[in-house]
Amino acid sequence: MGNSEVERDEPLTPAGRLFLRPEMNQIIHCIIGCKNPIDAAAVISEITNSVMIQHPRFSSLMVRNSRGREHWRKTQIDVDRHVIVVEDPVAGAGAADEEAVNDYVADLAVSSPLSPDKPLWEVHLLRAHNCIVFRIHHALGDGISLMSMLLECCRRADEPDLRPTISSVGTSSNSSSNRIIQRRKLWKVVVGMLMGLVFIVEFVLRSLWVKDRKTAVSGGAGVELWPRKLATAKFWLDDMKMVKEAVADATINDVLFGVISCGLSRYLDLRSPKALRDGVQITGVAMVNLRKQPGLQELSDMMKGNSGIRWGNKFGMLLLPVYYHQGGADPLQYVKRAKQMIDLKKQSLEAHFSYNIGYLAMSCFGPKVASWLNYRIVCNTTFTISNVIGPKEEIAIVGNPVKYMRVTNTSLPHAITMHMLSYAGRADMQILVAKDIVPDPQVLAKCFEDALHQMKEAATQE
């Protein structure tokens, strides 16, 4: 009997084991604001009958064998144990819904681990605020996996019988001759190998002693345990696209990192004017989807085990330097510098190197060493940033139209972590901060919003 149980257990992936380490224990919080009051019974019924309950990760316990190795073990789901219904407001009288929900999630980010005696997910229904908070352990999957799962369970608000559209990315045509194409491919391989070597050296140095200069927004070892605040920066995708069009061959990610660089410079000017020299480097850690097809995927395709788009954690890490510049600079210069830097990073295959280095460290030395390496890199850099594509159309959950979708993680040694999620023409970025280091995250959010507005104005004059 014992042997058959062991045979049914499925070992965790290296990334899953890493996210269960105490130093890197990561829970994803997906915050969904609804237009109408939430029917708790209807939500519980929907979850009970959803594909989520049938998914092997959402219906398994995380167990450890006699050698301490983690495995997934199938179990019976009691949905009532996973759904927490909060009837009363989660903040004092007079607090706005957004502020109340952000404070609630900020508290979860440091004080509420998921219980290991049930599958590692929960759903909190904040009925007084018409809000649903999904809490899902990162060991179950990354942002792309979990967003694909969520959209499988939702319907379009304008067409209740249809699922939301999954974005697909086509290939661009190229009229160049085969010989030129082959030369370009060869050149990319050579540059990628050389830049990859540079990255490996930088990765090792960041793991050991190289660190960002101390600023007003620096974190460090132990900061992941400090109390948090959460604020939301709100952008229109059309504004970001307008800025993108003003810079040749730019992408939305180039615009995002330009906004980050400009916004951080603005905030540091407010917090510590004249304390930094122009051009000081502030390094971010960015998470990059490594699946062969960018964007969201059909859940059925991800579950087939296709190596290129499979379910799980399939992302690499980029070390992205942005630079402090005093006020008065051309705002579009931030985007141009970000584009130049990101283009080099793409050529270097840095994200693929980081993924494979992490996999090698996990396989050869175990999760303790791999977690130490990741922890040191986070301690020696300044912020975390990720960007996930959400649905283009408005969606509904149990027939209840969704006003907004936002996402954040539990805390890290960084004093600032930022996660952007697009939804129906908007892009909201959740800014989770250590409040003893960044006491005014709403001011930081305003700095990012103002940066984009200034870039948009400059773009209209190009």
Active site (catalytic) residues: 138
Cβ-count burial 39-65 (b if 16+ within 10 Å, e if not): beeebbebbeeeebeebebbbbebeee
Distance CA 57, CA 72 (A): 7
Structure tokens given for 8: 């049914």
List Cβ neighbours of 96 (8 Å cut-off, separation of 6 or more): none
What are residue 61's DSSP bridge partners?
A: 73
To the nearest 10 degrees (0 to 180), the angle between helices 331-348 and 252-271 is: 120
Whether 15 and 371 have beta carbons less than 8 Å apart is answered as no
Instruction: Kindly give, in sequence order, each residue whose CB lies less than 8 Å from that of residue 435, ignoring residues fewer than 6 positions away.
Output: 226, 227, 228, 229, 441
Q: How many other C-beta atoms can be found within 10 angstroms of the C-beta atom of residue 304?
A: 10
| Ramachandran category for residue 350: left, alpha or beta (phi over 0 → left; psi -120 to 50 → alpha) | alpha
How far from chain centre, in Å, is Cα 223? 19
Half-sphere exposure of residue 228, counting CA atoms within 13 Å on the CB side? 31
Helix (H) or strand (E) holding 182: helix 178-208
Which token pair is 434? Answer: 């250590």
CA distance 240 to 253: 9
What torsion do the CA atoms of 48, 51, 57, 58 make, to the nearest 10 degrees? -20
Q: Give the three-class secondary structure for 403.
A: strand
Q: Amino acid identity, residue 204? A: V
CB-facing half-sphere around the CA of 155: CA atoms within 13 A: 12
Smallest CA-to-CA distance from 451 within 336, 335, 368 is with 335
